[in-house]
Structure 1
């Protein structure tokens, strides 16, 4: 049995959806563990783009895909198409999809460089252009789409803006986030930025070459901004396990629970032939990083020898909702699409021996209690609402709950009770779940149900 001290004031859950990457919401669990779920791989779809530093933006019924491609040739020592002299000519390519399965690359004809699907082909945007849709309600209409790109020997990270997903312009001539000598050669990676609804500011995570301890290794640095122009002093979160290099963070607010930032960093092991794999990380609105599975890989290279080479395991930035029940993640180099149950990263999991989970005290603020869960044919799930001191709230006891077995993304519990009164907003309570052969992925009080 695991039990946490519970002396703090009630947690104001509001209508936030809570996932279970750790025991943040737990007061007690007995016979229930935290189970990390691996995504399922699907064969490559021939129309899916392949390249480096890929980004998927799901907006307005379309999935916009941005990725780094190259001209297949050296374009000259002074070419604006190269990230730096002596490198092959690169560009940012664009494709789109309606359902996230089949993609097309529309001819854009934005640049006179001989390739029709080129979105950007000039420094500093060619190497690692990463756009995002700006959800800041005060964002100017002509900057609704923004991006960051650049590497340290170009000066740092530059900003870009556009009124639409296509027509980006550079913001000024100087980097928004200048590189610092103590970071070493840095930012030559998929650096990410977004508007945080939870923190009410812009957040940028970018790669540096120095750990908080001063040791040299690839890791992540964080800065924030109120206006996307002026950025804070850097923060150096502790993320790496011993011996790890992390090439990208790919952190973004999870659309169904925006106070969670979820990332899929690529782990790089230089002393093992530069082999790579993919991890899973969480942060609650910029708080400490959570590594489910005690830092183990989330997506392993597998039996394909090509996946054991350097630069061969990067996911596209952002999770795409390809159906109400399914999320998709895209392997940028191979074209493999991975799928995962909606909210299905980590579950509270019980086996055939009945287990129990009880939440810390939370403050009910209205809405309908809703769970995302799955049982086996022989499994079951029951729920009870309790007072803070652990007594059943009349009408919401375990005995009155209608036993559930099945699989629902949105399960609303039912109680058979003639005396059950509606919960009053402001009520402090606990949630008690009794589970058998069952996985519980998320819980919320949904005000839109």
Structure 2
């Protein structure tokens, strides 16, 4: 009997030890955390849910009505920059192309066009005088030739970047270096460079050979990981017997998917030797994802976010952008609800008529708003349009509390400071309250929800206080955070050091 009791106690202790191991604290330090994935989330209860946010449609930013543009302009890229005088400037690149549906062919060669803006709202097309089109160089064309189909540039912020390659790009090119439409056979990815974002040359290639590439092949410097990342399109066919075919004609009939690789120098890519297809931590199943639009999350660079285009072949090949997020660059959580629905606001029901541009920029003059851009009216008239949309800062996913109120409890966290800053919106009559708990769920003395001064109104950065005190011993041991939301939305939080005052 005694032996049985001892065995039972040992089993219980083993289970407790197992639970402790499973609840290892997540070290977030002073990083801002968003609710775009489950990284810090333990559970959501009551009248609360994690709710995908959709950006607000604004005015049309660009119309592709020039003779060298047309009704199949696509693969827009937007990023923030500074000019030679240190003033803010926003750069945009896109394919100039046009298609005659009756003749079923292109009406002119594909080119790469450029536009710029000082406010991310109003855009102009400068006459650059670089490329001849229709007997004139008065146009905004920056590239003409191999890679014009899906030329995707970025500004390289690596500390080791050479001045002559401060701007880089990837695009689909035949292995021989000729334009993809001029020859048949294996397509690859080549690299481009520019000292100023205007004058471009092919620098290296082929860099990547495993994939399909006829889409927006995004690359960028990831400052958090200290390396370059690239994302490109590939088909993946899973056969009934378990065989998986990746890329090329043998994979036709499979799902359009996304492949990734990394590099330390933008020349030698893991995509060449060890290409990796993205994996997903959600339960949405396989989906056709055409573009990827992956980037570092602003204000939270430890997170990668993407806005891939979901293709729905069974619904007339319509498309819609969705949101996905990752911590390691390969495993992503996808959100099912479209970021930009078809009715936001019009002309996005056709094939390729609803792509989100690659790029997200802070709107000048506002610390509360991001600008993003989505295409519309593809192949339905004589031109296409790019419309601006706006997100609240950090506002990709909200912890939304209803009128009855609910809560989110985090996993155990290791934090770097004693002040908690949150980004939230409380509707009239609503509020946010916060409780700091021990790792086992017991409230810390003086930091319970009842001690919390209710947060009302609408704040991008507000420090939480408990009985007017906003500084606590939170960094000395692992803690949990219980966010109580009643008729309110919570978008992000972070812990910082120092004293606070109301």
Q: What's the TM-score bracket when you normalise by the shorter of the two chains?
A: 0.7 to 0.9
Query: Alpha-carbon deviation of 1:332?
Result: 2.9
Contact 1:209 1:219 in 2 (8 A): yes
Which structure has the greater CA radius of gyration?
2
Residue of structure 2 in register with 1:27 after alignment? 42
Q: Does 1:315 align with 2:346?
A: no
1:190 to 190, 209, 216: 216
Q: CA deviation at 1:97?
A: 0.8
Conserved 8 A contact 2:57-2:345:
no
C-alpha contact 2:361 2:370 (8 A) present in aligned 1: yes
Q: Distance in 2 between matches of 1:58 and 1:195?
A: 14
Alignment of 1:41-80 (within 5 A): 41-45=57-61, 51-60=73-82, 61-70=88-97
Deviation at 1:87, TM superposition (A): 7.5
Q: What's the offset of the Cα at 1:126? A: 1.1
Higher mean alpha-carbon deviation, 141-150 vs 242-251, is at 242-251
- Distance in 1 of aligned mates of 2:174 and 2:304: 25
> Do structure 1's residue 149 and structure 2's residue 171 form an aligned pair?
yes
- 1:18/1:149 Cα in 2 relative to 1: closer, same or farther (>3 Å)? same
Whether the aligned pair in 2 keeps the contact of 1:278 and 1:314 (CA below 8 Å) is yes
Is 1:423–2:463 an aligned residue pair?
no
SS of the residue 2:164 aligns to? helix
User: Structure 1 residues 227 and 356 mapped into 2: Cα distance closer, same or farther (>3 Å)?
Assistant: same
Q: 2:370 — aligned with what?
A: 327
1:167 Cα shift? 2.5
Contact 2:114–2:140 at 8 Å: present in 1 too? Answer: yes
| Stretches (4+) displaced over 6 A | 47-50
What is the aligned residue count? 425
Residue of structure 2 in register with 1:138 after alignment: 160
* Residue matched to 2:490: 440
Partner SS, residue 142 of structure 1: helix
Compute the displacement of 1:267 (Å): 1.8
Q: Among residues 149, 165, 173, which one is paired with 2:197 in the alignment? A: 165
Which TM-score applies when normalising by structure 1? 0.86
| Residue of structure 1 equivalent to 2:315 | 272
Q: Where in structure 2 are there 5+ consecutive unaligned residues? A: 1-18, 83-87, 181-186, 239-243, 246-252, 377-384
Which residue number in structure 2 is paired with residue 78 of structure 1? none
Deviation at 1:432, TM superposition (A): 1.7
Mapped to 2, the partners of 1:163 and 1:318 lie a distance apart of: 20
Alignment partner of 1:112 out of 132, 136, 148? 132
Unaligned runs of 5+ in 1: 74-84
Distance 1:211 1:205, change over 3 A: farther
Are 1:230 and 2:274 an aligned pair?
no
TM value normalised by structure 2:
0.78
8 Å contact kept, 2:147–2:173: no
| Equivalence for 2:5 | none
Q: Contact conserved, 1:161 with 1:170, CA < 8 A, in 2?
A: yes
Deviation of the 1:222 alpha carbon:
0.8
Residue by residue over 1:23-50, the C-alpha shift from the partner in whole angstroms, topping out at 9 and shown as x without a partner, is: 3212233212111112221232467998
Question: Equivalents in 2 of 1:55, 1:398: separation in Å?
Answer: 45
Note closer, same or farther for the CA distance 1:257–1:277 as it changes in structure 2 (3 Å cut).
same
1:325 CA drift (Å) = 1.2
1:81-104 Cα deviation digits (max 9, x unpaired): xxxx98831111111111111011
